[in-house]
Each structure stands twice: as structure tokens, then as C-alpha cells.
Structure 1
């Protein structure tokens, strides 16, 4: 995340443009800030870096809101993980500015959001891993035979498959089916035995 005052000013202006549903143009952004493109790139990096930071800045409060809602429902273990991911995925699918971005720049969106080199995906995996570890530490959930990170990567891929279904397979993004997939994998109330050895264990 950006720390300098100049970078933050540029980031906030770009974020406002993104939420309004408009395309971020680095030349126009530089002009609105009264600087040249070289200064803007020095502050925030290239356009992909800026878009990645904006996308993650919007994902964090969405994840936090989903977590709070799950806590209000008093969900625990696998049910809480399902609840958080269900709410998060549904919010993404329904966010107008997000759908506008996916429609306008589908190839760039998939590259920035779903590839191995994606900062957004790695951060998302980190948040879901922390969620799994939290429920595991409380004794309410056991991810075995997968590790917490392996399960998190699987769950993130499920979320991506349904959030970007129109871009990946031409199907309509469907939060109901996404929740069904999370429940199928996590089986709330039917956690694996804690004696189940991890994959690859002798």
C-alpha cells in the first residue's frame, strides 16, 4: 500500500474514478493532479500496480463486513468459513463498479485477479488461510487432509470460478451456486477426523 502523501492523493483520485465506473487513464490522472506522467509512475507504479492496489483496497472492507456478519450469525467452524466466503463472493458479483471493470477489461481483470503472479490473489489466499487457521485454532474446524493454505487456495479458486464465470466459461455468475460449492467442499458439521493424516504423509 502507498505511504507518501503524493501517492495516496493519486491513489484516492484513481479509486474514486474506478468506483464511479470509469476507466483509469494514467495521462488523465496525471493531468488532474497537475503533474507529469513520470511523477505519477514514480508515486504509484504502472497502471496494473495501481489497479491491483485499488482492487485490494475494495476487497478488504468487503471481507471485513462479511466476517462481521458471520459473527453476528454466531457461525463457527466450517459454517463460518462458508458464511464469510458466500457473503464476499455475492458482494463481488453484485458490485456494479466491479462488473463494469470486468466487462470493460476482461483479460486484464483476470490477469490481475486470478493468476499466480497476482498480488490480489495472493493477499486473498492469505486472508482465507488466516480464516481457516482461526477456526482450526478454536477447535471448531479441521482442514485435514489439506493444510490451511492448501484449503484456502482451493476455496479462493472456487470463489474465482463463480465470480468470473462469465469470463471463464460464459456462464452467469451465481452466488447461490457458489455457496453450494463452498458447502460441498467444507461440509459444515461433517469435518474430517483429526486423526486423518495430511496428504503425502507416510
Structure 2
């Protein structure tokens, strides 16, 4: 019986982390199937890369969320007043820019990797936006915030800002710029997620 698709995806994710090129012939042989069977199970090479990159991103986001919970429990802000979603995105972004396999992929397969990562109808970006929206929505609900724009738009804007800075920095080897990128994300999110003002029903004195 052939391996399930998720096992193949995790194997491909491991290859990326180990800085090994995804070779569909090798992967098919590894799981005792033909390339045709591999294609039917997980799609072509770009689709497999997309699934593997999302598996890595999702795992990293979950670990970032766990890190917050370990440090702050159910709190919505940390001791410096930062929203939970921003700290989680900081943990996530730091893990991404310091991941050797990710840097290797962008350096050695830049065109295909960027196409897979940034395709608005692809396997990575829509899921990443949805994950960002979920983080934002949780803080909006728990902190009683009033967004100035819908969260789908805000999530999209945050992801595109991260794309523009993180990916270009990783490709250029200038990951020290990430803290500045985080400041931009913070200003964007904090500016949009406003604390609701209390209305004085009695009116002006």
C-alpha cells in the first residue's frame, strides 16, 4: 500500500529543511511508487513544494502560538503592551528568516520558490492569510477591539508586507532588517485595531 499524501508532504518538507532539492523521481522511488502515482497523490513538483512549505509554515505558527501560551497563558498583551498576535508573528518571522533550508531554497530556486510562496491562488499565501486573520480575530474578540477595516483586508496587508521584507531580506542575506519590518507590522496592526471609545450618553457638559 502506498504512503498517504501527508507522509509524502512531510518528507518533502524535511528535504527542504535539509537543503536538498525536491526530485520527484527520488521521492517516488523512496515511497515505492512511479512518478505517475506520485503525481496523482500529491500533484506536480510545484504543488508538492507548496504543500511542503505550508506544512513547515503551519508547524512554525503553531509552535509560535505554543510559545506565547507557555509564557503568557491566555493574556492578550505582554508586559510591554504588545498584542498576542504581534508577538506570535514575531516568533514566526524570526524562525522563518533564520531557517537555513528556507534561505537555501530561495537562493537556489528563487523563481519557482517565489511563485509558489506568493501566488494569490496558490497553496501557501491564501492559507497564510487565513492563519493571520485567525490570529487577528482572536485578539479582536478577547481584547474588545474595533477594527477600522475588515480583518481579511488587514491580514492580506500584513502578509504582503511580510512577503516584501522577509523574502527579499532572506534572498539578500540581510535578515538583520527583520526587527524594522516587525515595527512596520506593529504600527499597521495597532493602527487598525483600535480600542473602542466609551460614549458619554449624557453628552457634553
- Taking structure 2 as the reference length, the TM-score comes to 0.81
* Structure 1 unmatched runs, 5+: 196-202
How far has the Cα of 1:164 moved from its partner? 0.6
Task: Determine if contact 1:76/1:140 at 8 Å carries over to the other structure.
Answer: no
C-alpha distance in 2 between matches for 1:96 and 1:46: 24
* C-alpha RMSD over aligned residues: 2.4
Q: Deviations over 1:121-155 (max 9, x none)?
A: 100110111111111112343321x1011111111
1:182 correspondence with 2:180: no
- The CA deviation string for residues 158-192 of structure 1, in whole angstroms up to 9 with x for no partner, is 21122112478x5723221121112221238x953
For structure 2, which runs of at least 5 residues remain unmatched after alignment? Answer: 198-205
Distance 1:9 1:124 in 2: 21
Q: Deviations along 1:70-112, whole A, 9 cap, x unmatched?
A: 3324652662121111111111000111111111111111111
Larger Cα Rg: Structure 1 or Structure 2?
Answer: 2
The answer to whether 1:43 aligns with 2:41 is yes
Q: 2:97–2:170: 8 Å Cα contact kept in structure 1?
A: no
The whole-number CA distance in structure 1 between the counterparts of 2:59 and 2:35 is 30
Aligned pair count reads 189
Off by >3 Å, runs of 4+ in structure 1: none
Structure 1 distance, partners of 2:154, 2:178, is 20
| Candidates 119, 125, 140, aligned match of 1:121 | 125
* 8 Å contact kept, 2:103–2:170: no
Out of 103, 107, 111, the position equivalent to 1:107 is 111
